[in-house]
Structures are given as structure tokens and as C-alpha cells.
């Protein structure tokens, strides 16, 4: 049985690529130096995988920024706004254009906006969205996949080049012209894609991995047609290549027949996310095809349960004979950190249950040995699984018992919104078009240093707390003098909106170097939820109470919601994810109650990641959303009618989930709308969304100070769509990435815009 790795992390075990790219952008290192770093990282991965005995070693899984952008460059899918820049470059395929497409270009009299970025399926990895226009002329650019294949061969290593599938590539992109169809885009791109494969064939590649994860989503007849056209053309054009069609992140379901019948030599399936698909795939797979079994989890950091994998492998063995099977990780290891060995700070008991990329490669070899009869390895693995099952640090009977006792009443406010609203208005005494912010204020260098110094033990807790109180005091006074109505404390104590809570909850562990690429050079270090979640004590109350003591205006308590904490963590795999979400909800619920008890009358529970958790299949959306909404309601429904619950989400797609957003029953929702020019509000208006809304009136992602007039114009649009008394005035999102001067100017203008609105409304 061949071993197959669909992809390996590339940012560098010490984030070398991140650092090199950023230095290159800052003009501190040369292009040669950057390319040298990249070559070293590739070599390290290849030699490691070769030494580990992996048969199908990936190449072209390396990327300076994003593998989808690599494909755009390779096929010449360059938006026309970059054309003029491209014409001035000596080498039009160089990294300068590539980085310009990813990051925008404001140099040499150019001002070109970056390409859009969005999440790759249901991961936290963001890709650069390809843009298709009528005017584009596609031709083969810089065949990076060929270069990297040859580079590895010079090192004596035969690799399996990895390409994004053409259908997934097209369907993950955006068509910019109304008259252009996906079939037309395919017609134009296919010849170039075939050239790319031909050059791989000429370079002597044997196996080529083509990633088509779109096969685990709902496909319409046109998409199916794209598959037929593409793969028939490929089999004709490059008969000498062995194509390993790779799917992951879910099951093939009704696309099974389509996938197994495409003229390729092998199919890879994800048996971690969808073990049940093995039967139907085995039953349908033509006899001349190989099957790669993705049995080791590429999306999570837990040690593999070899017995579970073995059951799947044995079933496949019985029906095919080993010569037709490959063994692999479920998907690329891009989504997990490099190496567990360096995590000396983790509690050993927890650490022994985990595996990062390097360990997962070793697990593949272990599985091979177990298949060959090494029972010792299997027994050791079973023991480890057994001791995790009963470990006292994981299981908290009190938490489980509390979860059992939840009733629908716990997820329901005491009264309906129509009755709560007048009570809240009476209690809070806010003007029409009340103004507020989303929570965080600029995280200045001093604030960051303060937290870092505390962590390093350079300052005492007393000093830290005193300095933080000063920062809060200044921020409250600034907000008062700006004339804001509902104030915030500024979130200066938080490094990250999930980590801050995780660090104070039982059941969480933290790595020192567990970085995962999020986009480009940005990496995240997700917390690990290993056990039952419990809140030992209040997490935010001291800061909120202090902030409230400084002012007679309401100060919003600021919490992160259960679904967002879940989505941005590595979650335990020994119970359904939603159980963990409900445990998180209970912890947040206790915090909400404590805030209310401390005299906080407005509490915001952020759920910016709510949409990210949506299952890939539409049929599963409603059930998942119902559960997610319940978790949110469980977290907030403890408060009295007069306490106002806010939530915040920052994205622009609500149309398809609006009924669930309404079911959350937050008294106020603040959302991102400024970039979509209030278009988004139409979904709320059409639905007759009953509660209050704060449509973001300016984009916080840019240092630009919005004018009073433009914010007023947006608010004018909003009053066309929604009752004036439901409208709040606020920025798009938190202000932590901004500087103070622009923040104050922007908020001053925002408050003025709200005042103008009040004047017109009262006439």
C-alpha cells in the first residue's frame, strides 16, 4: 500500500516564510534571499517526507501566499486592473505582480486594490478569489509546478505535483461580467490547463494530484458537465500521467458516481469527515482504479485512533486487494501545526493524546506496520485511546450533568422583544440613532508591550492592572467627549478574542508554536479544547465594572460567543462538536449573569464566526443553524428584560440565514454594511427583522476618515428600509487595528452624522 501525503505545511516550523516575506515587502531583504528561504523550506519538507518513507511526496504544495493565487498566475487569470502594472514589469510573471494581486499595489503612481479573499471551504484558511472577466486572455505563465518538480528531482526526490482542480478553481472564483458563464470560462482555461499538465508530463512526472474538493458539495448539472469535459480532455492530453483525483472535507454522497467514473487513475477520499462513504465508493469504484484512503485527520491535532482506521482499511482490503489501495491523511496537513515535539509547555498528559503534521506522517508509517502485523504498536495506541477516554482532566461530571438539565426555558428570554424593547428604552434613556462602537479600541504599542511585559514577568500584576485601568479611564473619557451613547472599555486586556476567554476556562490548552496559516503571512495559534469546559470564575467583570464606575453612560460588557470560540479552536473529537459549543455557552452564560449582577445593563456577545461553521452541504444547514442559535440563546437568556443583549457579526451575507439570525433574538445586532453600501440591509428589511440593528456606517479596515456626509447618506438609506427607532449608529467592526487620531476623527464625524439624523427625524 503506497503512502500518500496530500500536502504539507509550508510557512516554516519557525514561520521562516512569513518572516522572509514580510522582510522582503519591507525592502529589508532581496528577492534572492526570499527565494533561498523558500527553497530551503521546500527541501526540508521533501527530505523529511522521503526519510519518513512516504511514497507520494507532494510538491507545488508550497506557496509564497496562496495556492489558488498560484493557479491564477499559472493560467494567466490576472484581473484587468493589473494590466497596466503588468506591462511596466520587466518580467510580467514575477513575484511583484503576484504580491500585488494578493495585497494591492500603491506605488509608482499605481493605486490598485487587492483581490478579494475568502475562506477555503469550511477551514480558517483564506484564499485569493480568482476573478474572471470577458476581456481576459489566458496563457501559461511561470509553470511553478514544473519548476518545483524539477527542483525536487535535482535533490534526488521524485514528487507528486499538486494542482488545484480546474473545476474547483473556476467554481471558487468570481465571474465579473454578467454575460460570462462558467462553461465559457472553462472553454478558455482548459487548453492552458492542459498545457500545464503537458509540461509536467514532459518533465517526467508520474503521479499528479488534482484537488477537487468541490466534489463534496452540492453540484448543479452545469458543474457536473464541467467535470466531464475537463477530465476527458485531461485523459486525452496527458495519457502518460497518473492522475490522483483528490477530494476532502466531506463525503462524495450523490457525486460518488460522477467522481468514480471520471477517467483518472486514482481517487482520494476523506474517511475522517465521512467514513460512511467508504462502502458506496468501494461499491462503485471501477476495478482498474486505485483508492487513496484518507484515514488520518488533516484538520485536527489529535492522535490517530489506529483501530478505527484499521477497520476502514480492512474493509477496503477485503474488497480490493492491497495493490489498489493507498493510505493517506484526510487532506493536506496545511491545516495543522508542524511539530508537537517542541511543545514542551503542554501538560504531558494532554500532549500524549496529540499529533501535529510531523507526528501524523509517522502515524501513517505506524499504520503500515500494524497492517503488516505489528500488534505491539496497535496495543500501545489502544492503551493511549483508552486512557484518554477515562482521564479525569477531561471529564467533569458536574458540567455534563448541568448540560443534561438544560430546558427550552433556559434558551428563552423572559419576555418577547416587543415587551423588552420599551423596558430597555426606559431604563437606558438613549436618543434616537444611538451611537456605539464594536468593542475594541486601538491596540497601541504601549498596550501590547504592557501585556507582553506581564507575560514575561517583567512587571507585577499590580502595575499591569493599574496601567490598564489608566488606559480604560482615558478611553472612557474620550468616548464621553466624543458624545458616544453606549461606551465600551476598549478590550485592552485581550490579545485575541478567543484566546482571552480560553485562557480563563478549564478544558483549554495552549501551544507555544502551534501556528497555522490563515492567509498569506498571517498565522493563527488556535487554542485546544481538550476537555469539558468550565468557568472557574468571572473573566471580564472587573474591567467592565471599573469602566462603568467612571461614567453615567452605559458601558457594554463584551464577550465572545460559543460558536466563535468553537470555530477558532482545535476542538476535541471525542464528543459531538455541538456538545462542546453548549458547554462553552454555559460558561458564557455564567459570565453574562455576573456582568448583569455587577450593574452592566448592555452586554454584547460577538459571533463573527457563526457563518463559518455552516456545513458544506445545504441540506445540513438548517439543523446546524438551529443548534448554533440555541447555543447563543443559552449563553444570553439568563438576563432580565431590561438588560440589553447585543451581538456582532462582520460579514455581508445574511440573505440565506436571516431567519436564524432573527431567531437569535438579540435585542441589537451590529453588522458590516458600509462596504456593501447598505445593500445588506435589504435582507433585514424584506424579512421585517423585528429587533434593533446597527448597520456599520464606516469601514474600519482602512485608515481613511469617513466624512459626515457619507455616513449620513448611508443612514438615510437605512431609514428608507427600517424604522428609525430600530437603527443604531456604529462602525463596521472593532477598532483595534486602527490608530487613535483617525479613530477619534472618524467617531466624531459619526456622532455628528447621528445628530443630523436626529434633527431630521424629529421634524
Catalytic residues: 701
d(CA 543, CA 548): 9
Residue with cell 419576555: 415
Stretch that binds ligand GLN, among 181-189, 242-250, 424-432, 437-445 (CB under 6 A): 437-445
Out of 654, 736, 754, 757, point to the residue binding ligand GLN (CB under 6 A). 736
Q: With contacts defined by CB under 6 A, name the span among 313-321, 347-355, 629-637, 729-737 that binds ligand GLN.
A: 729-737
Residue with cell 455557552: 585
Q: How far is the CB of 192 from ligand GLN (least distance, A)?
A: 38
Size of the site for Zn ion (CB under 5 A): 3
The answer to the question of residue 146 lying near ligand GLN (CB under 6 A) is: no
CB of 729 to Zn ion, least distance (A): 16
- In the complex, minimum distance from the CB of residue 660 to ligand GLN, in angstroms, rounded to a whole number: 18
CB of residue 504 to ligand GLN, shortest distance in Å:
16
**Contact between 505 and ligand GLN per CB under 6 A:** no
Residue 489, interface with ligand GLN (CB under 6 A)? no
558: partner contacted, choices Zn ion, ligand GLN, none (Cβ within 5-8 A by kind): ligand GLN
Rounded to 5 degrees, φ, ψ at 58 are -75, 145
Nearer to ligand GLN, 159 or 743 (CB): 743
Interaction residues for Zn ion, span 728-747 (CB under 5 A):
733
Considering only 130, 161, 275, 439, the residue that binds ligand GLN (CB under 6 A) is 439
The SS3 call for residue 516 is: strand
Give the DSSP per-residue string, 629-678. Answer: HHHHHHHHTTS-TTSEEEEEE--S--GGGHHHHHHT--SEEEE--TTTTT
CA-based nearest residue to 545, from 469, 483, 480, 479: 469
Q: State how far the Cα of 7 lies from the Cα of 571, in Å rounded to an integer.
A: 22
The binder of Zn ion chosen from 17, 295, 650, 671 (CB under 5 A)? 650
Residue 7 touches which of Zn ion, ligand GLN, none (CB < 5 to 8 A by kind)? none
Q: Which of 497, 602, 610, 727 binds ligand GLN (CB under 6 A)?
A: 497
Q: Distance between CA atoms of 583 and 585, rounded to whole angstroms?
A: 5
- Pick from 299, 648, 660, 738: which binds ligand GLN (CB under 6 A)? 648
Q: Which of residues 569-608 bind Zn ion (CB under 5 A)?
A: 608
Q: Pick the binder of ligand GLN from 438, 600, 602, 634 (CB under 6 A).
A: 438
Binding segment for ligand GLN among 119-127, 383-391, 639-647, 731-739 (CB under 6 A)?
731-739
Quick count: other Cβ atoms within 10 Å of Cβ 589? 24
**Count of residues engaged in binding ligand GLN, rule: CB under 6 A:** 13
Consecutive H or E run containing 531: strand 528-534
CB of 673 to Zn ion, least distance (A): 12
Angle separating helix axes 31-51 and 144-154, nearest 10 degrees: 60
Cα 524-529-533 angle, rounded to 5 deg: 135
- Cβ 638 vs Cβ 557: under 8 Å: no
Tell me how far, at minimum, the Cβ of 650 lies from ligand GLN, in Å.
Answer: 5
* Interface with ligand GLN, residue 734, by CB under 6 A: yes
H or E segment to which residue 745 belongs: helix 740-762
DSSP string, 573-606: SSS-HHHHHHHHHHHHHHHHHHHHHTT--EEEEE
CA dist 542 and 455 (Å) reads 19
Contact 240, 201 (CB under 8 A): yes
Alpha-carbon radius of gyration of the chain: 27
Q: Smallest distance from the beta carbon of 608 to Zn ion, in angstroms?
A: 5
Phi, psi of 566 (to 5 degrees): -60, -50
Reduced to 3 states (helix: H, G, I; strand: E, B; else coil), residue 209 is strand
Q: Which residues contact 222 (CB under 8 A, 6 or more apart)?
A: 181, 182, 183
Minimum distance of ligand GLN from residue 403's CB (angstroms): 27
Q: Which does 538 bind (CB under 5 to 8 A by kind): ligand GLN, Zn ion, none?
A: none
CA 739 to chain centre: 26
Question: Does 650 contact ligand GLN by CB under 6 A?
Answer: yes
Q: Using the minimum distance from each CB to ligand GLN, give the nearer residue, 188 or 436.
A: 436
Q: Which stretch binds ligand GLN (CB under 6 A): 32-40, 191-199, 577-585, 730-738?
A: 730-738
Alpha-carbon distance 612 to 597, whole Å?
32
Q: Identify which range of 320-328, 363-371, 435-443, 456-464 contacts ligand GLN by CB under 6 A.
A: 435-443
- Out of ligand GLN, Zn ion, none, what residue 49 binds, judged by CB under 5 to 8 A for its kind, is none
Choosing from 66, 499, 606, 641, the residue that interacts with ligand GLN (CB under 6 A) is 606
Crossing angle of helices 577-597 and 621-636, in 10° steps, is: 30
Give contact residues for Zn ion (rule: CB under 5 A): 608, 650, 733
Give contact residues for ligand GLN (rule: CB under 6 A): 438-440, 491, 497, 558, 606, 608, 648, 650, 733-734, 736
Amino acid at each position: 500500500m503506497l503512502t500518500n501525503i496530500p500536502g504539507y505545511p509550508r510557512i516554516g516550523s519557525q514561520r521562516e516564510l512569513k518572516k522572509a516575506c514580510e522582510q522582503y515587502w519591507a525592502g529589508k531583504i532581496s528577492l534572492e534571499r526570499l527565494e533561498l528561504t523558500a527553497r530551503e523550506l521546500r527541501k526540508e519538507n521533501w527530505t523529511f517526507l522521503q526519510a519518513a518513507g512516504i511514497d507520494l511526496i507532494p510538491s507545488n504544495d508550497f506557496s509564497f501566499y496562496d495556492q489558488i493565487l498560484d493557479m491564477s498566475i499559472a493560467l494567466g487569470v490576472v484581473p484587468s486592473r493589473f494590466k497596466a502594472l503588468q506591462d511596466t514589469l520587466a518580467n510580467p510573471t514575477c513575484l511583484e505582480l503576484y504580491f500585488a494581486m494578493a495585497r494591492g499595489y500603491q506605488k509608482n503612481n499605481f493605486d490598485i486594490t487587492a483581490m478579494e479573499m475568502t475562506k477555503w471551504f469550511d477551514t480558517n484558511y483564506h484564499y485569493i478569489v480568482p476573478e474572471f472577466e470577458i476581456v481576459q486572455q489566458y496563457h501559461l505563465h511561470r509553470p511553478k509546478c514544473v519548476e518545483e518538480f524539477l527542483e525536487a528531482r535535482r535533490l534526488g526526490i521524485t514528487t507528486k505535483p499538486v494542482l488545484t482542480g480546474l473545476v474547483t478553481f473556476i467554481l471558487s472564483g468570481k465571474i465579473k461580467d454578467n454575460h460570462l458563464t462558467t462553461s465559457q470560462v472553462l472553454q478558455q482555461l482548459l487548453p492552458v490547463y492542459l498545457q500545464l499538465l503537458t509540461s509536467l508530463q514532459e518533465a517526467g512526472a508520474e503521479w499528479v494530484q488534482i484537488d477537487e474538493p468541490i466534489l463534496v458539495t452540492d453540484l448543479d448539472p452545469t458543474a457536473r458537465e464541467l467535470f466531464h469535459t475537463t477530465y476527458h480532455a485531461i485523459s486525452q492530453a496527458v495519457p502518460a500521467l497518473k492522475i490522483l483525483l483528490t477530494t476532502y472535507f466531506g463525503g462524495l454522497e450523490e457525486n460518488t458516481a460522477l467522481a468514480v467514473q471520471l477517467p483518472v487513475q486514482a481517487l482520494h477520499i476523506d474517511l475522517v469527515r465521512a467514513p460512511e462513504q467508504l462502502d458506496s465508493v468501494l461499491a462503485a469504484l471501477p476495478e482498474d482504479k486505485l483508492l487513496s484512503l484518507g484515514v488520518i485527520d488533516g484538520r485536527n491535532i489529535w492522535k490517530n485512533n489506529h483501530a478505527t482506521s484499521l477497520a476502514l482499511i480492512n474493509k477496503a482490503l477485503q474488497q480490493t486487494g492491497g495493490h489498489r489501495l493507498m493510505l493517506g491523511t484526510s487532506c493536506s496537513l496545511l491545516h495543522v501545526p508542524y511539530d508537537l515535539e517542541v511543545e514542551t509547555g503542554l501538560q504531558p498528559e494532554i500532549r500524549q493524546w496529540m499529533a501535529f503534521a510531523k507526528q501524523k506522517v509517522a502515524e501513517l508509517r505506524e499504520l503500515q506496520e500494524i497492517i503488516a502485523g505489528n500488534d505491539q504498536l496497535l496495543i500501545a495506541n489502544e492503551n493511549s485511546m483508552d486512557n484518554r477516554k477515562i482521564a479525569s482532566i477531561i471529564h467533569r461530571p458536574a458540567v455534563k450533568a448541568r448540560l443534561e438539565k438544560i430546558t427550552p426555558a433556559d434558551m428563552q428570554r423572559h419576555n418577547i422583544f416587543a415587551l423588552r424593547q420599551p423596558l430597555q428604552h426606559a431604563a437606558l434613556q438613549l436618543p434616537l440613532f444611538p451611537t456605539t462602537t464594536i468593542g475594541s479600541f486601538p491596540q497601541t504599542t504601549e498596550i501590547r508591550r504592557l501585556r507582553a511585559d506581564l507575560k514575561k514577568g517583567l512587571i507585577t500584576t499590580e502595575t499591569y492592572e493599574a496601567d490598564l485601568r489608566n488606559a480604560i479611564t482615558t478611553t472612557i473619557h474620550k468616548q464621553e467627549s466624543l458624545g458616544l451613547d453606549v461606551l465600551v472599555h476598549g478590550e485592552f486586556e485581550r490579545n485575541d478574542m478567543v484566546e482571552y476567554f480560553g485562557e480563563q476556562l478549564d478544558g483549554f490548552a495552549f501551544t507555544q508554536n502551534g501556528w497555522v496559516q490563515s492567509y498569506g503571512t498571517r498565522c493563527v495559534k488556535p487554542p485546544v479544547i481538550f476537555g469539558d469546559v468550565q468557568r472557574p470564575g468571572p473573566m471580564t467583570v472587573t474591567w467592565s465594572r471599573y469602566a462603568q464606575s467612571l461614567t453615567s453612560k452605559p458601558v457594554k460588557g463584551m464577550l465572545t460567543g460559543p460558536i466563535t470560540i468553537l470555530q477558532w479552536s482545535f476542538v476535541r473529537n471525542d464528543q459531538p462538536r455541538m456538545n462542546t459549543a453548549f458547554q462553552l455557552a454555559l460558561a458564557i452564560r455564567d459570565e453574562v449573569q455576573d456582568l448583569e449582577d455587577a450593574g452592566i445593563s448592555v452586554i454584547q456577545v460577538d459571533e463573527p464566526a457563526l457563518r463559518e461553521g455552516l456545513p458544506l452541504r445545504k441540506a445540513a444547514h438548517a439543523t446546524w443553524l438551529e443548534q448554533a442559535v440555541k447555543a447563543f440563546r443559552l449563553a444570553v437568556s439568563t438576563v432580565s428584560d431590561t438588560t440589553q443583549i447585543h451581538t456582532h457579526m462582520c460579514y455581508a451575507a445574511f440573505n440565506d440565514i436571516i431567519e436564524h439570525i432573527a431567531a437569535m433574538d438579540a435585542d441589537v445586532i451590529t453588522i458590516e454594511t458600509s462596504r456593501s453600501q447598505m445593500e445588506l440591509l435589504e435582507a433585514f428589511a424584506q424579512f421585517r427583522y423585528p429587533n434593533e440593528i446597527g448597520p456599520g456606517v464606516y469601514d474600519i479596515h482602512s485608515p481613511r476618515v469617513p466624512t459626515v456626509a457619507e455616513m449620513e447618506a448611508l443612514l438615510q438609506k437605512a431609514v428608507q428600509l427600517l424604522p428609525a427607532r430600530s437603527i443604531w449608529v456604529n462602525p463596521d467592526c472593532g477598532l483595534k487595528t486602527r490608530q487613535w487620531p483617525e479613530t477619534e476623527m472618524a467617531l466624531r464625524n459619526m456622532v455628528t452624522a447621528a445628530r443630523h439624523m436626529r434633527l431630521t427625524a424629529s421634524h
